[in-house]
Chain A
Amino acid sequence: MKRILLLRGAELIVFALLATIPLLVVSPYALGLLTLLAIYGILLIGLDVTVGYLGQVNLGHVAFLGLGAYTAGLAVTKLGLGMAPALLAAMAVGLLLGGLLALPALRLEGPQFALATLSFAALSTTALNELEGLTGGAQGLSLDRPPVFGHALTPPLFYWLCMALLAVVWMLMRNLLASQWGRAFEALRDSPIATDAMGVGTYRHKVAAFALGSGLGGLAGGLYAFNFEYLQPHSFTYDLMIILLLGVVLGGRKSLWGAFVGASVIVLLPNLLSNRLLFQIFSGLGFAMALASGLRGLVKKTTRPFQALAPVAAMGMLVVGGLLVENTEDWRKAIFALMLFSVVVGLPEGIMGFLALFLAKLFRVPHAPLPEPADLDAVLPARAADGSPLLVLDDLKRHFGGVKAVDGLSMTVRSGSIHGLIGPNGSGKSTVVNVISGLYTPSGGTIRLRGAGLPSGSLLRVAQSGVARTFQNLQLFGELTALENVLVALKGVYRSSLPRVLFGLARAEERRAQAEALALLDLIGLKDQALARAKDLTYGAQRFLEIARALARKPDLLILDEPAAGLAHPDVLQQIDIIKRVHQRGITIILIEHHMDVVSELCDTVTVLDGGRIIAEGTPEEVKRHPKVVEAYLGQPPQTDISGGAAPLPA
């Protein structure tokens, strides 16, 4: 309760303070700044969805501000709409175009995504400027704030409107981002492949996240139009984009408070820069902060020397520059750059990320209590293992150019069994797994699950058909906690519609999901570390967590891709124990493994691959003695012509 009180209390106090300001202050300038703060607040919350949650550098957000502004402006001037429909239209245009842009931008990561959004922004400025008949082009578009219910909106009234909208957006986004949606956005950032393989569509969520962020950009644009009442295309360019990024990064990614702090910085920065003494005070404070955190990092050895020293150097330049330079405004961009640089390098979590940790310690804010784990029997009901064929591969082929990684493989996995798949390096094991799980499209042959064809070439649809997998090279969602990793994959609990989620009416469901996830963590012995971030877990624990996450899919067939790879001996024993317990619940398992003792201990049937073909099949004991297997593993000169040494294949 203390946590809720503190968090909600802080929000309430800030918004209540902001709401009373027009009653206290008569200065239109201050009110203008605060109105802008609210507008930029909404804009930055939108930008944070892509930059923070999706983890992509989005250089196109400014275009949605512009498009939203022009939509609202045109809705009022050309169509004579009122304020509410104009704002809705602005938001709708943002949502729609955001979704459209996300379609081609979908397959892109990192630099390509940044470039695509950058081009979009440049293109939309060009369009706004050139479509003179519609937008008035460079001449700009003048509009008047339409009255609401017959009342002209005075500056204080308009300010209240903006603040109220910020509060609503804040509340809805808080609910959304804390829900399965927000987790999916983050999962997408950390591992798109695993997100798909866990049955959470990357496609859908990426488009949704981008459209959502852009919709908020459009809404902010609408408010921007009614605030300034005059629009020009060149207001929405790269320069402003850089400032918006500054806001998000400085304030802190993945944080509503961060967006708020960022918006405050953006709004107040010009004033800060125009006052020399104030600038010196702030740069001095920044320097002291960088020095303190840098030294702390160095002493505790939590940061690299560069990470500790570079921000100190940058802030030092700011201090010295502030003393030398006559007009700080001339150096505005350099000052932005130095501030941003220090934050990106030294304080990756931003001001709010840093403060949040600090405040949490100060007020001893506990994490919200977790529910009791659910009954495992309810989460993973034991299923009948009748030995009927579950997965049937028939003449499966996968070629990469001339390389035949899998070359006519036929194999049957029986319900309730643990089916081992072994072979020397490059024998095609991993390719088989990748083809079954949908990462690769087969070049030929069929895969049938329970007699029905398994979708091919789609991780997502395979996952949704009841096949779950783990990854040889861990694909955990590193920034999420162990609990959240399992929650992302959890099947069958989240049923609430989006509006219910937005209005915070899906809490009961969330508790139920947590209880189920905890039960799964309990199964692998990680219940006590439920709140640790996945990337902070030990290597062994990360391997176990992969299994718990796959189990959250409640699969019929579980594919374990080298679950014991790299594990120390005690961990191997624990892993064997975990797999046995999973097997006891009637889940069919395909096990790819190098450790022969693990295979012997667990498997009912073993298939041995070499050169993309089966060279032996049988019980572990039979297979071990099989001459071809011995030869393939020990590499004796071939007495008979079997494969002659496989070409290196994609793992």
Chain B
Amino acid sequence: MLAAIKPLQPIGAKEDTMFRQTVHGFLLLAALGLQAGDTVKLAITGPFTGGSAPMGASTRDGAKLAIAEINAAGGIQVGARKMKIEIIERDDEAKNERGALIAQELASMGELAGVIGTVNTGVCMAGDKHLQEKGITKIICPAAGSASMTQWSKAGVKDLSIFRFAAHDGIQAAMVVEEAINRGFTKVAVVFDSTNYGVSGRDDMLDQIKKQGNKLTVVAQEKFNIGDKDMTAQLLRAKSTGAQAILIWGIGPELAAVSNGMAKIGMKVPLIGGWTLSMSNFIDNAGKNGNGTLMPQTFIEEPITPRAKSFIEGYHQAFKVGRIPSPVAAAQGYDAVYIFAAAVKQAGSTDTHKIKEALEDLKEPVKGVIATWNRPFTKWDPANVETHEAFRREQTVMGMVQDGRVVFGNPADKARLIKAAAGTAPAKPAAAKPAAKAKTK
């Protein structure tokens, strides 16, 4: 019988951690919701163990970096006083049941200001309804398929407390299709994994092909399972139909298996797909076969702006890594925290409902590492999911794998970002080093 309020691990108030842990541990049934305090309680959830851990953990660590910076500067100005952010960390293990239970737990906490996190669509589908029921503000970050938002418009929800901070699959699919058209291809194979993520990616891509005037013919649709290592069957079928490019949607090592399988059967066509192609488990395992692979990115680990430089260096130093496991996830986690903090400041309260309203109408621009966010969200309209989506086409660039790193696939994007950053005041370097230790290698 345990409340298991696992407090922030290393940041900020550490002194009474052990004591509080004990108290909470033993007083579950009655004590839930009694906690009072002068902090902004922010839950960070996601898969920190298991297959999608690189994304979940990078988001968490990016968020921790932002929180450490904010706390080191004294905290968020809430009304008259400054309040520090307290992290409540929960590992959903990428399992729907855990996600549902964690959401129930978070929903029953008093004074929870908001939630940031989740990678897996299923976890959103199973858990977010509990948060929405209580009107708890959640920013889905760094990923999750389209269904995580469209479920609310389908249900005709009038007032929604769930936001998404991710280059949604619609944008990504549009870019992937656009890239294929721009390169003059007419016949493509669509390859996707058998999870929710892969299947909705396929649907988005097919949808975009139609929207962009049916200039591409899908000559093969091939599926693979998580754990598949041999993609010969799928690729041979794609090859035999004369596909000029492979549009792919999946996660992790299986993508590398596709890339290596293409080399094996001598299929020399470009691989274009979702942003997960930038993850280290693709890049490392594909090796030289991965070169030239294209994918939309919200952030590229190149210190092209001062803000980006300080973020990348701060992350490397704090978590003792030479390369961020998933730069996109880390940068999004980082920016999501800043956007959330701005909403708290504007609301002048830690009340999650007021924060939600502030998020829907942020007055001041928020300077993030990905972009400067001007009014990222607006009032929820069930007919238009984009009202609760922060990312637009312009925050997303095409990345390309080159010799073990992701670089800008399109030099124009790079120039645009440098110019945009120069137009704003130079960002202050990160003030504090978070004490968190590296979770991922």
Check if A and B associate: yes
- Enumerate chain A interface residues (CB-CB to B < 8 A): 21, 24-25, 27-30, 32-33, 36, 129-130, 132, 137-140, 142, 228-230, 232, 234-235, 268, 270-272, 274-278, 326-327, 329-330, 332
State the CA gap A33–B199 with chains docked (Å): 31
State the CA gap A60–B425 with chains docked (Å): 61
Beyond A138-B196, A230-B122, whether A29 also contacts B32 by CB under 8 A is yes
Chain B residues with CB under 8 A of A268: 1-2
**Sample (28) of A-B pairs whose CB atoms are under 8 Å apart:** A21-B29, A25-B30, A29-B108, A30-B28, A33-B101, A36-B97, A36-B101, A137-B199, A139-B147, A139-B196, A139-B200, A140-B122, A140-B125, A140-B196, A142-B125, A229-B129, A230-B96, A230-B125, A232-B125, A234-B122, A234-B195, A235-B96, A270-B98, A271-B2, A274-B91, A275-B6, A276-B21, A327-B439
State the CA gap A400–B62 with chains docked (Å): 73
Name the contact of B96 in the complex, choosing from A21, A228, A326, A332 (C-beta under 8 A).
A228
State the CA gap A230–B129 with chains docked (Å): 11
Q: Is B186 an interface residue (CB 8 A)?
A: no
| B102-133 with Cβ < 8 A to chain A | 104-105, 107-108, 121-122, 125-126, 129-130
The reply to whether B439 and A27 form a contact with Cβ atoms under 8 Å apart is no
- Enumerate chain B interface residues (CB-CB to A < 8 A): 1-4, 6, 18, 21-22, 24-25, 28-30, 32-33, 48-49, 90-91, 95-98, 100-101, 104-105, 107-108, 121-122, 125-126, 129-130, 147, 151, 194-196, 198-200, 437, 439
Beyond A27-B32, A137-B199, A275-B21, whether A32 also contacts B439 by CB under 8 A is no
Name the distance in Å between B86's Cβ and chain A's nearest Cβ: 16
Name the distance in Å between B48's Cβ and chain A's nearest Cβ: 7
The reply to whether A235 and B95 form a contact with Cβ atoms under 8 Å apart is yes
Beyond A271-B2, A332-B49, whether A277 also contacts B194 by CB under 8 A is no
Beyond A30-B28, A232-B196, whether A274 also contacts B437 by CB under 8 A is no
The reply to whether B107 and A326 form a contact with Cβ atoms under 8 Å apart is no
The reply to whether A228 and B151 form a contact with Cβ atoms under 8 Å apart is no
4 extra interface residue pairs, beta carbon distance < 8 Å, beyond A28-B108, A230-B100, A232-B122: A25-B29, A129-B194, A142-B151, A230-B126
Name the distance in Å between B116's Cβ and chain A's nearest Cβ: 18
Chain B residues with CB under 8 A of A36: 97, 101
- If over half of A's interface residues share one DSSP class (helix, strand or loop), that class is named, otherwise mixed; here it is helix
The reply to whether B29 and A275 form a contact with Cβ atoms under 8 Å apart is no
Name the contact of B107 in the complex, choosing from A28, A140, A329 (C-beta under 8 A).
A28
The reply to whether B126 and A228 form a contact with Cβ atoms under 8 Å apart is yes
State the CA gap A320–B328 with chains docked (Å): 37
State the CA gap A104–B18 with chains docked (Å): 55
The reply to whether A29 and B49 form a contact with Cβ atoms under 8 Å apart is no
Name the contact of B25 in the complex, choosing from A138, A275, A330 (C-beta under 8 A).
A275
Beyond A139-B199, A332-B49, whether A277 also contacts B125 by CB under 8 A is no
Chain B residues with CB under 8 A of A278: 2, 4, 21-22, 25
State the CA gap A327–B195 with chains docked (Å): 28
The reply to whether A138 and B198 form a contact with Cβ atoms under 8 Å apart is yes
| Nearest-CB residue, chain B, relative to A264 | B1
State the CA gap A311–B398 with chains docked (Å): 55
Name the distance in Å between A265's Cβ and chain B's nearest Cβ: 12
Name the contact of B195 in the complex, choosing from A24, A27, A138, A228 (C-beta under 8 A).
A138
Beyond A137-B199, A274-B4, A277-B21, whether A228 also contacts B29 by CB under 8 A is no
| Nearest-CB residue, chain A, relative to B1 | A268
State the CA gap A230–B148 with chains docked (Å): 12
| Nearest-CB residue, chain B, relative to A232 | B122
Chain B residues with CB under 8 A of A30: 28-29, 32, 108
The reply to whether A275 and B4 form a contact with Cβ atoms under 8 Å apart is yes
Chain A residues with CB under 8 A of B199: 132, 137-139
The reply to whether B2 and A272 form a contact with Cβ atoms under 8 Å apart is yes
The reply to whether B6 and A274 form a contact with Cβ atoms under 8 Å apart is yes
State the CA gap A230–B99 with chains docked (Å): 11
Beyond A30-B29, A139-B196, whether A330 also contacts B49 by CB under 8 A is yes
Chain A residues with CB under 8 A of B29: 21, 24-25, 27, 30
| Nearest-CB residue, chain B, relative to A155 | B104
User: 7 closest pairs, A vs B, by CB?
Assistant: A271-B4, A29-B105, A32-B104, A27-B32, A29-B108, A278-B25, A230-B126
State the CA gap A278–B122 with chains docked (Å): 30
Name the contact of A235 in the complex, choosing from B3, B91, B97 (C-beta under 8 A).
B97
Name the distance in Å between A563's Cβ and chain B's nearest Cβ: 57
The reply to whether B21 and A138 form a contact with Cβ atoms under 8 Å apart is no
State the CA gap A272–B437 with chains docked (Å): 22
State the CA gap A325–B94 with chains docked (Å): 22
The reply to whether B2 and A275 form a contact with Cβ atoms under 8 Å apart is yes
Chain A residues with CB under 8 A of B98: 270
State the CA gap A274–B194 with chains docked (Å): 31
State the CA gap A326–B439 with chains docked (Å): 10
State the CA gap A132–B195 with chains docked (Å): 12
Chain A residues with CB under 8 A of B32: 27, 29-30
The reply to whether A228 and B97 form a contact with Cβ atoms under 8 Å apart is yes
| Nearest-CB residue, chain A, relative to B128 | A230
Name the distance in Å between B96's Cβ and chain A's nearest Cβ: 5
| Nearest-CB residue, chain A, relative to B106 | A29
Name the contact of A138 in the complex, choosing from B2, B49, B108, B194 (C-beta under 8 A).
B194
Chain A residues with CB under 8 A of B24: 275
State the CA gap A139–B107 with chains docked (Å): 25
Chain A residues with CB under 8 A of B122: 140, 230, 232, 234-235
| Nearest-CB residue, chain A, relative to B200 | A139
Name the contact of A228 in the complex, choosing from B2, B3, B21, B100 (C-beta under 8 A).
B100
The reply to whether B22 and A329 form a contact with Cβ atoms under 8 Å apart is no
Name the distance in Å between B197's Cβ and chain A's nearest Cβ: 8
The reply to whether A32 and B151 form a contact with Cβ atoms under 8 Å apart is no
Chain B residues with CB under 8 A of A275: 2, 4, 6, 21, 24-25
Name the distance in Å between A276's Cβ and chain B's nearest Cβ: 7
Name the contact of B100 in the complex, choosing from A25, A32, A140 (C-beta under 8 A).
A32
State the CA gap A24–B101 with chains docked (Å): 20
Beyond A30-B32, A138-B194, A235-B97, whether A329 also contacts B25 by CB under 8 A is no
State the CA gap A334–B31 with chains docked (Å): 31
Name the distance in Å between B29's Cβ and chain A's nearest Cβ: 5
Chain A residues with CB under 8 A of B125: 140, 142, 230, 232
Beyond A36-B101, A129-B194, A140-B122, whether A27 also contacts B33 by CB under 8 A is yes
Name the contact of A32 in the complex, choosing from B22, B101, B196 (C-beta under 8 A).
B101
Chain B residues with CB under 8 A of A138: 194-196, 198-199
